[in-house]
Amino acid sequence: MIAQLVFLIILAAAVFLFSKNTGKIRRNILLGKDADRSDQPALRWKTMAKVALGQSKMGKRPVAAIMHLFIYVGFVIINIEVLEITIDGLFGSHRVFSRPLGSLYGLLIGGFEILALLVLVSCVVFLSRRNLLKLKRFQGPEMKEWPRSDANYILFIEILLMTAFLTMNAADYKLQALHFGHYIKAGSFPVSALIAPLLPSNASSLVMIERGCWWFHIIGILAFLNYLPYSKHFHILLAFPNTYYSKLSPKGQFSNMASVTNEVKAMVDPSFVPAATEPGRFGAKDATDLTWKNLMDAYTCTECGRCTSVCPANNTGKLLSPRKIMMDTRDRITEIGNNLDKQGKDFQDNKTLLDDYISREELWACTTCNACTEACPVNIDPLNIITEMRRFIVMEESQAPPSLNNMFSNVENNGAPWKYSNADRMNWAESD
């Protein structure tokens, strides 16, 4: 009963902390402006099933796709085993699913073990790619100490959890063979049976190993759960809603501003009376000027670098990195949320996303080619954030680059981006 009580306290504390921290992230996301993403639900479900559940965009890099698939499937399916461990911990039972599932239980445990081995191998491969091969897309000025460490921490944690799971099963396998205590014959152990000869034969030592690994495994999972809100790996949960709320209109299409649209309608039709709307900012200067979907994108970003690796501006040495845009947006809205918690809603830190986090040089380096949005495995849209911040610079500050100001003047005076008047437009076609 003491062990069950201790487990209940740990489980309750873990769930409480996770709920509290995810609640803060939800609050931070909702600090963004409203955006309607409720249209075409059938297409949205299809997009989520294809992109998030089906991992369709991962296949462009086959090695990473296969390794990621092993980890993804392992994470989803092994949760059935975690459910059994949780029930055993609460009620003092042992392999509670073995009786109702019968022979199917052995198939499940065998499958879990094979998946655990594949997850373990995949994590070792990913660690090697990051730290030995040092792939270029995992580098960059924005990949400072914490982003690099975060990726390694999560891989080490998964290796430890899978090792504990297999060692626990190996000890259980030997205890079953000894017909010791409550260790009933249950399960199939194709992987851990290979580890079992390395363990001692003494029953009391095996019980200590099995119980120790059991506690390490379940507490490790609960700790991992509470690590997620502080990590880029929160995409494990947010990838599904983020792909569901993906932009369905053509990528890169600009959104019209209601206030500007109403002004144009009033100019064209003097009888037009626009609905009363609260004056707002043109574009985005700070993270709270972005939509909640932009902020969800930021929290969903896993910093994989696929966006930056295909960015033509970045590849030609310019300052822009779409990954940094997402990381900066996430850092800024998190800072705003922390200020709300510590200082109250009226506190102003005199910082903004523009200039304090993202420079103008980065924004104007973007060619708006949309390669970053196309490359993202979970449909994140860095381009929308870039164009909204550009919109603020142009419409609120009138600080567009000289080349754009020239184009604006030409459009205003000549009806075209070029300096030639309408009357001279066909001069090129005249023969000598």
* Backbone angles phi and psi of 401, in degrees to 5: -60, 155
Same-domain pairing of 334 and 224: no
Residue 432 inside a domain? The answer is no
Does the pLDDT at position 68 exceed 70? yes
Residue 177 inside a domain? The answer is yes
DSSP-based three-state secondary structure for 193: helix
pLDDT of residue 402: 87
Same-domain pairing of 190 and 298: no
pLDDT of residue 162: 92
Does the pLDDT at position 405 exceed 90? no
Residue 199 inside a domain? The answer is yes
Question: Of 218, 244, 270, at which residue does a domain stop?
Answer: 244
Per-residue pLDDT band at 408 (split at 50, 70, 90): confident
Q: pTM (2 decimals)? A: 0.88
Residue 77 inside a domain? The answer is yes
Same-domain pairing of 211 and 270: no
pLDDT of residue 379: 94
Same-domain pairing of 66 and 162: yes
Same-domain pairing of 108 and 169: yes
Between 330 and 55, whose confidence is greater?
A: 330
Same-domain pairing of 173 and 79: yes
> How large is the average pLDDT for residues 38-42?
94
> How large is the average pLDDT for residues 114-137?
91
CA distances from 432 to 136, 293, 375, 427, 428 (A): 55, 57, 49, 11, 10
Convert the pLDDT of each residue in 256-306 to its tens digit. Answer: 877 778 778 888 888 887 776 666 788 999 999 999 999 999 999 999 999
Residue 360 inside a domain? The answer is yes
Question: Of 214, 244, 274, at which residue does a domain stop?
Answer: 244
Same-domain pairing of 269 and 178: no
pLDDT of residue 217: 92
Does the pLDDT at position 432 exceed 60? no
| Number of structural domains in the chain | 2
Least confident among 23-27, 153-157, 332-336: 153-157
Residue 355, domain CATH = 1.10.1060
Residue 45 inside a domain? The answer is no
Same-domain pairing of 26 and 136: yes
Same-domain pairing of 90 and 187: yes
Does the pLDDT at position 219 exceed 80? yes
pLDDT of residue 269: 84
> How large is the average pLDDT for residues 115-120?
93
Residue 40 inside a domain? The answer is no
**For helices 145-177 and 103-131, what crossing angle results, to 10°?**
150
Convert the pLDDT of each residue in 357-398 to its tens digit. Answer: 999 999 999 999 999 999 999 999 999 999 999 999 998 988
Give one DSSP letter per residue of 295-333, joined into a string: HHHHHH-----HHHHT-HHHHTT-S--HHHHHHHHHHHH
Percent pLDDT > 70 in the chain is: 99
Residue 99 inside a domain? The answer is yes
pLDDT of residue 431: 64
Same-domain pairing of 326 and 283: yes
Question: Of 189, 215, 244, at which residue does a domain stop?
Answer: 244
Can you tell me which residue has the tokens 């390794």?
A: 67
Between 242 and 255, whose confidence is greater?
A: 242
Same-domain pairing of 234 and 371: no
By C-alpha distance, which of 335, 299, 286 is closest to 33?
286
Between 389 and 103, whose confidence is greater?
A: 389
Convert the pLDDT of each residue in 317-367 to its tens digit. Answer: 999 999 999 999 999 999 999 999 999 888 889 999 999 999 999 999 999
Label residue 281 exposed, middle or buried (CB < 10 Å: 0-12, 13-18, 19+).
middle
Beta strands in 180-276 (DSSP E): none
Rounded-to-integer distance, Cα 131 and Cα 151, Å: 10
> How large is the average pLDDT for residues 33-50?
94
Domain extent, residue 166, equals: 2-30+61-244
Does the pLDDT at position 75 exceed 90? no
Same-domain pairing of 188 and 68: yes
How many CB atoms are closer than 10 A to CB 226? Answer: 17
